Amino acid sequence: MKPPEMGLPPSTAGARFPATRMRRTRQSPWIRGLVREHQLHPSDLVLPLFVIEGTNKREAIDSLPDVSRLSIDLLVETAQQAAKLGIPAVALFPAVDPKLKTPDGREAWNPESLVCRAVQALKTEVPGIGVICDVALDPYTDHGHDGLVQDGQVVNDETVAVLVRQALTLAAAGCDVVAPSDMMDGRIGAIRSALEKDGFANTMILSYAAKYASTFYGPFRDAVSSASALGTADKATYQMDPANGAEAVREVLLDVEEGADMVMIKPGMPYLDIIRDIAQATSVPVFAYQVSGEYAMLANGAAQGLFDRKKAFHESLMAFKRAGARGVLTYAALEIASDLTGAT
């Protein structure tokens, strides 16, 4: 009696070994390339950059191997290199002078701030590259939280009001995309409304719509000097619980309804299932962030000889594409784009 063909799609029902040999299309590089379901291109990558005050200044970040904080002049040179490799955009994160950090994070909406000057330099010197700016207060507050703190609590609506001011300031500086990463409720709608009202209708919003309260952000907080301010506090009252998946879909759909042009899932590899769920639930472009802890694990593992660095990064980034991400923010963007283009 013929065994049942349960679980096989109609197109493969009945096609069994030896009539079907799955290895046939794996036997040579040309056929593997021809039937490959997903491809990785430099245009899939966004390069995060950390900016500091000064000239010709480069500060290594101990917890992020091969990543540095850059003064604006070196930031421009790096962005020029990225553009030549076909990387379409950079994402800016400032390392703010501790003297400028305040409880209300007011430096976030200073039109002469470090990040605003960096945006202006990039738009002048590298006009073809997209500039994405983070909208959140953690680089600017002396307590390290993404929002305003009152009576020991991160308050929502009051924070949204100042995030709107920050977003408008960044748009006026010339950034192409504002990227709220704070996870306050209602901020996308408020920012979208303000951008429209103030003449920035073409400024895009990339919402960190599903940002989890993850342990993988440690090196990033070192890079923007917010770790010491935050101390032992956590962000669990506004970032998502890592145990929740359906909640992420709800968060994303709310942000899309409020006017988000694109959405971000953060972290990346531990949340591939979330990326897939979001990509299937909405038609807006979905991005993933290969966060600092993910990058550091791969870089450190490769440095210890546990695996090949280049292959590991390629594989990890392909996983994002396979899950449904249109693009990926990764600190490895330059080296991956160089490899993909054959640049030396």
Active-site positions read 211, 266
In terms of C-beta distances under 8 Å and separation of at least 24 residues, what long-range contacts does 79-84 make, across chains too?
Answer: 79/47, 79/49, 79/122, 79/125, 79/126, 79/129, 80/125, 80/126, 81/334, 82/47, 82/129, 82/333, 82/334, 82/337, 83/126, 83/128, 83/129, 84/343
CB atoms near residue 133 (< 10 Å): 27
| CA dihedral over 248, 250, 255, 259, signed as positive or negative | positive
Question: 128: which 2 tokens?
Answer: 């073809």
Are 131 and 177 in contact, with CB atoms under 8 Å apart?
yes
Q: How many helices (H) and strands (E) does the chain have?
A: 12, 12
| CA dihedral over 227, 47, 264, 327, signed as positive or negative | negative
